[in-house]
Each structure stands twice: as C-alpha cells, then as structure tokens.
Structure 1
C-alpha cells in the first residue's frame, strides 16, 4: 500500500485496502504528499488510521504542493514541522510564504510569525522593476 500511495495509484490502493490485510504505514501519506497525490491523501485520511509523520508537510512544501500543505495545516496541525516548512517556502515559493504569513498572523503564533516576517525579502514573480 505504501508503494501504491507513493506513486499515486488510487485504484490499486483502494483494491489493496479492500482485499488485503497487510495494511500500510505512515510512509503512505508521507510519500503521497511528496508526490502531490491529493486524492490518495484524502483516501488514506478517511479509510485508514495510520496517519502521517511530520515528513508529510515537509515533503509537500519541498515540492511546492501548496494545496496539500494547507490541508495538513487544517487536519494535522500537530504534525507540522513548522520551521522546516518555512525553510522550503522561503527558498521556493513566494505564494506559500504569503499564505503562511496570513495563516500564522490569524493564529497569533508569534515566534513562527517573526521567522516568516524576517523572510519577506522575496519578490513576487509577477512584480516588475520600475525603470525611470
């Protein structure tokens, strides 16, 4: 099941869930997050009890799967390694940093918000330089 989840094989995953007893591990959701397989994550969340590790959100942020990361923040907030997520967001994705900033500002989490604020030297991709 872990392999099927990692490769986004939802039909295979459903078949294994129904017909086999071996089950899966937390690696299934962690690797599905890395691959951007959101439907697989939703299936595992609703049909399985293994859950995920902190690697799931880190994998999603590393590979710029913003929608998946947002979902983890909502449904698995205690499984978010916030500092690692911020590191990847700072490097790769202005929009993810913006979302994190707004999310943490609303939650009032000051230490993480300070880290995000210190990282806002990024320029949005569509911003053009002004020439005179």
Structure 2
C-alpha cells in the first residue's frame, strides 16, 4: 500500500484497503505529503489516522513548498496558520 500511496494511486489504495486490513505504514503519509498527493493524504487520514506522523509530514511538504499540504496538516493538528 505504501508504494501505491506514494504514487498517488487512490483507486488502487481503495482496492487494497479492502484486502489488506493492516493497511499502510507511516512512511506512506510522509511520501504522499512529499509528492503532493492531497487527495490521497485526505483518504489516508480518514482510514489510517493512527499511522500519521503530522510533524514529519509538514516538514517534508514545507521543504517541497507544498503550502496546500501544510495547510491541510495544520488543520488536522488543530492549528491555524
């Protein structure tokens, strides 16, 4: 699942979600943020929030200049920036 997430393959993730109950690792969240797949990040937060690492995700997204990802992650943490 991590590879599909990193590539932004949301349809594949949804299919895998049905068949792989353990899901993905926290690396999936970091790679999705670094690759600017906002729709995938939103989906991961809906189904696997316990695997998230928002601090690291924000760092990676900010390093890449992805302010939309940073804003989303700040909202998830309850921040207002």
Question: TM-score normalized by structure 1?
Answer: 0.55
1:65 aligns with 37
The 2-side partners of 1:62 and 1:89 are apart by: 5
Considering only CA atoms, is the larger Rg found in Structure 1 or Structure 2?
1
Map 1:68-87 to 2 at 5 A.
68-87=40-59
2:8 aligns with 36
Q: 1:102 to 1:50 in 2, by over 3 A?
A: closer
The 2-side partners of 1:52 and 1:87 are apart by: 20
Work out which of the residue numbers 75, 78, 81 in structure 2 matches 1:102.
75
How far apart are 1:100 and its partner, in Å? 1.8
Q: Which has the higher helix share?
A: 2
Map 1:1-132 to 2 at 5 A.
29-92=1-64, 93-105=66-78, 113=79
The alignment covers a number of residue pairs equal to: 80
Q: Could you tell me which runs of 5 or more consecutive residues in structure 2 were left unpaired when the two chains were aligned.
A: none
The CA RMSD over aligned residues, in Å, is 1.6
Q: Could you tell me which runs of 5 or more consecutive residues in structure 1 were left unpaired when the two chains were aligned.
A: 1-28, 106-112, 121-132
The 1-side partners of 2:26 and 2:62 are apart by: 18
Question: TM-score normalized by structure 2?
Answer: 0.85
